[in-house]
Structure 1
Amino acid sequence: MMKSSVRDLAVFGSKPAFSCELPAGQLNMPEWERVEAAFRGIFDRKYYTNHGPLARELEARLEQLLGVKHAVCMTNETIALMIAAKAMGLKGKVIMPSFSFAGTGQSLIWAGLDPIFCDVDPYSHRMTGEKAATLINEDVSAILGVHMWGNPCNPRDLERLAHERGIQLYFDAAHAFGCTSDNVTIGNFGDMEVFSFHASNVLNSAEGACVCTNNDYLAARLRNIRSSYGAGNKVPIPLTGNGRMSEAQAAMALMSLEDYPGNQKRNKNIFELYTALLGILPGIRFQCPDGKNQSNYQCVVFEINEKEFCLSGGELRKLLNAENFISRRHLASGLHRTSLFRERYPRFREASPVTDQLCRQVIQLPSGQAMNEELIREVCRLITFVHENAKEIKRKMVSL
């Protein structure tokens, strides 16, 4: 439904522009016939979990594709991050960005560690070595870097810092499957990198994860902590848990792996169309790949400059969500302001002003399998209409 006047906007009581919700995540699903065939195979074999044939095949395929010695698949990324911290033998405190998913910080608490929240660079939205260096003290055992939006952080920068200061380094690579930095595939940096295969990501097993490392001893510890099945060589570990990936998850991931080249290409086309149509509007700045590294383009995000656009990020999100356009804000707040961390670590409450600003300004647009060119053009026409009428809309929203 096209909007011809401000009163046509759904936030003021009119009909939404889209009849069903447009999701922000990837949600790339294979054809039903492929799913049915894969699951019939699982039921025929009567082998459902415990490091089965599909899980082993997936690990081998990932090792080959990413060029890593070890890919250890697990049930979800938070569990994988917890096990990674235990496998590395971390103690005390770990530096991580405050602009990150809640599960990343929660994995440290579960592993008996304390996070030290680091603010991020306002342009790249990622933690830099320069910022992290100011937080290192004798209690810090590691840095946990986070790749964002399908673009890697600068892992070499953090590697240099970790080496100089004699601490360990690992990465939350949830957004970075298939990405590169300095022509090296993500998965090869630090002591290990942890991928999420949640349905919102470009490679998905509906839910799942993978820890990659080139360190044989760490890989053995990961496998032994994950479960007794598929543990390989026995090595000393502090505990065990059930972090293994099911055959159903592995089947979904293998199909997603087959589809990855096409999904990455579609993501790039979606990104380029959005930026071409909306990048010309005042007050919108897209988070773009740097042109030197490969991106999976799985997230299309931009920042809103309220002074130039004439609406705040919160106001625009409210308008768009009313139209069934799920323009989610990836983080409702920085981790330092969430209830768990705010109460435990009050000294960080005012320590990340850039993160606070990004949480207000950043909007993630619908992308992935649900979107086509016609829908994207409709989304862009709607946002353009909102911008052209922003001052009138802002006055009317005061009464809502």
Structure 2
Amino acid sequence: MMLHVGQLNVPSRDRYEAIMRGIFERRYYTNQGPLTRAFEERLQAVLNVKHAICVTNTTIGLMMASEALCISGRVIAPAIRNVTLAHALSWCRVEPAFADVDAVDGQLDVDALAVSIAKMGPVSAIVGANLWGDACDASALVELAREHKLPIMFDSSHAFGCVTAGQRIGGFGDAEVISFDAADIVNAGGGACVTTDDDELAARLRNIRSSYGAGRPVAVVKTSNGRMSEAQAALGLMSLDDYDANRERNQTLFEAYRSGLSATPGIRVVEPRRVDISNHQTLVCAVDEDVSGLSRDRLIARLAEHQIEAVAVRAFDSNERFAADIERSWLRLPLGAHVGVSDVERVCTLIGEAVARRCSTGSAA
């Protein structure tokens, strides 16, 4: 059986059947039902934000946030690729420009972004990102946005539950979008939420979310069908109940990878270093081909031969120096509900053996 990348957290069948039975008994399946409202209220409490607007998926959430913030023209975003963000900006006819990232952790480099703004001329917004259970320097990004009088939103798809500079992800900038896909630590059947402390922005988001709005009516140019279903909210509520246990398991697996790969030449586990608390939902490794004798893509192929999925980290813009290095050399390894410590030990052993063979022959591929 293939060992997959992604969290894949699902409740027991008994729990799922019980909560779904309630949905069918109420005969209320979507359109801000009781479970969706309960999910939003819990998210607001957990994330310490005034508004968490739940939507059907992350792409819709990013599109809605862009529309609600009246973003147009060119925006600046990190050069590391998130296909969902690219799709959302494309749908909104927004042109992304890219700033380089930190060489060590892959997060958006604030200094590089400031230089990019100065070089490229007018931009209409900044889009930050918090990747892999880590975070960019969100406070510095917000300060830069305010200095240039630009709206700022964050793609925090990977960052539910993370804390940076003493503050939970979700409360930075004008808005943040958090994913609840099956690959994420909180699974709401592909759902997402947009968080904000701005009452007016929240009202616009709720009126954009469906053709007839919700809550206080405000004028919007576009609407969508972005409503979260009761089935999605049910999964999300159960996943919130399981969050602490799932985060602890992720941390145990993360530490097993760190220990198991520590002595392997040319393989570095990318550590979350800007967060006080990480959800550890993603394990990222950097492969130094000059030291290991093995290319990142060859290592992915070797692991696939043993039914282990590894996924390359990609960049939007290979012209940015550090993003280009990451494009060539970083990968994600399995870590989640279907991964145990023994699986991590097997992955580490296979990587170690592959590197040892290359080092002994003195060839790279």
Letter in 2 for 1:358: I
Cα displacement (A) at 1:229: 6.0
Q: How does 1:228-377 map to 2 (within 5 A)?
A: 228=211, 231-290=214-273, 293-331=276-314, 334-336=315-317, 351-377=319-345
Letter in 1 for 2:355: H
Counterparts of 1:315 and 1:392 in 2: how far apart (Å)? 16
Per the alignment, residue 53 of structure 2 pairs with: 72
Letter in 2 for 1:200: A
Letter in 1 for 2:322: V
Per the alignment, residue 340 of structure 1 pairs with: none
Q: How does 1:128-167 map to 2 (within 5 A)?
A: 128-136=109-117, 139-167=122-150
Letter in 2 for 1:82: M
Cα displacement (A) at 1:228: 4.7
Cα displacement (A) at 1:290: 2.0
TM-score (norm 1): 0.88
Equivalent of residue 174 in structure 1, options 144, 157, 168: 157
1:68–1:214 Cα contact (<8 Å) kept: yes
2:289–2:295 Cα contact (<8 Å) kept: yes
Q: Report SS of the residue matched to 2:127.
A: strand
Letter in 2 for 1:104: L
Cα deviations by residue, 1:25-67 (Å, 9 ceiling, x for unpaired) = 0101111111111111111111111111110000000001110
Cα displacement (A) at 1:87: 0.3
The alignment yields a C-alpha RMSD, in angstroms, of 1.6
2:157–2:177 Cα contact (<8 Å) kept: yes
Per the alignment, residue 179 of structure 2 pairs with: 196
Cα displacement (A) at 1:393: 7.5
Per the alignment, residue 91 of structure 2 pairs with: 110
Cα displacement (A) at 1:93: 1.0
Per the alignment, residue 101 of structure 2 pairs with: 120
Cα displacement (A) at 1:394: 8.1
Counterparts of 1:371 and 1:380 in 2: how far apart (Å)? 13
Q: Report SS of the residue matched to 1:134.
A: helix
Letter in 2 for 1:231: A
- Structure 2 unmatched runs, 5+: none
Equivalent of residue 346 in structure 2, options 378, 384, 397: 378
Q: How does 1:8-47 map to 2 (within 5 A)?
A: 20-47=1-28
What is the percentage of aligned positions where both structures have the same residue? 41
Q: Report SS of the residue matched to 2:116.
A: coil
Per the alignment, residue 189 of structure 2 pairs with: 206
Rg larger for: 1
1:129–1:157 Cα contact (<8 Å) kept: yes
Cα deviations by residue, 1:248-288 (Å, 9 ceiling, x for unpaired) = 10001111000000000000000001101112211111111
Counterparts of 1:385 and 1:199 in 2: how far apart (Å)? 32
Per the alignment, residue 31 of structure 2 pairs with: 50
Cα displacement (A) at 1:85: 0.4
Per the alignment, residue 94 of structure 1 pairs with: 75
Cα displacement (A) at 1:206: 2.0
Letter in 2 for 1:238: V
Higher alpha-carbon deviation: 320-329 or 209-218: 320-329
Superposed structure 1 runs of 4+ greater than 4 Å apart:
391-395
Per the alignment, residue 13 of structure 1 pairs with: none
Letter in 2 for 1:253: G
Letter in 2 for 1:352: E
CA pair 133-105 structure 1, distance change in 2 beyond 3 A: same
Counterparts of 1:171 and 1:182 in 2: how far apart (Å)? 16
2:74–2:124 Cα contact (<8 Å) kept: yes
2:126–2:153 Cα contact (<8 Å) kept: yes
Counterparts of 1:210 and 1:237 in 2: how far apart (Å)? 19
1:170–1:191 Cα contact (<8 Å) kept: yes
TM-score (norm 2): 0.96
Counterparts of 1:67 and 1:159 in 2: how far apart (Å)? 18
Letter in 2 for 1:250: A
2:253–2:335 Cα contact (<8 Å) kept: yes
CA pair 372-200 structure 1, distance change in 2 beyond 3 A: same
Equivalent of residue 204 in structure 2, options 221, 237, 240: 221
- Structure 1 unmatched runs, 5+: 1-19, 337-349
Per the alignment, residue 8 of structure 1 pairs with: none
